[in-house]
């Protein structure tokens, strides 16, 4: 995980559970929608699992985001128009 914070993972699962609870409430309120709403449980689960996999996916130890990608010598160059 290389120092990742679990906030993103908690947000994904929190939103997924909230969406599933909302669909369940709608299904309880209108039982006739059961067959229509059932695939949405699978969609929410698949998206949550995919985002979880992306969060856990191994990243190379050489993380390019730690250092500045710009060349440092460009900042040290003098502007040719200035004297």
At 39-54, the pLDDT tens digits run 999 999 999 999 999 8
Please give the pLDDT value at position 78: 61
Report yes or no: 19 and 45 within 8 Å, Cβ to Cβ.
no
Residue 46 is predicted with a pLDDT of 97
Domain membership flag for residue 63? no
pLDDT at 4: 72
Q: pLDDT tens digit string along 9-64?
A: 999 999 999 999 999 999 999 989 889 999 999 999 999 999 999 888 866 665 55
Q: Is residue 71 one of the residues assigned to a domain?
A: no
Q: How many domains does the chain have?
A: 1
Query: What is the rounded radius of gyration, in angstroms, for the C-alpha atoms of the chain?
Result: 23
End-to-end CA distance of the chain: 50
């Amino acid at each position: 995980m290389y120092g990742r914070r679990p906030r993103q993972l908690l947000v994904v699962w929190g939103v997924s559970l909230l969406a599933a609870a909302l669909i369940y409430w709608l299904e309880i309120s209108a039982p006739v929608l059961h067959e229509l709403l059932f695939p949405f449980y699978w969609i929410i689960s698949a998206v949550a699992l995919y985002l979880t996999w992306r969060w856990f996916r191994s990243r190379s130890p050489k993380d390019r985001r730690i250092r500045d990608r710009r060349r440092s010598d460009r900042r040290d160059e003098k502007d040719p128009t200035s004297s």
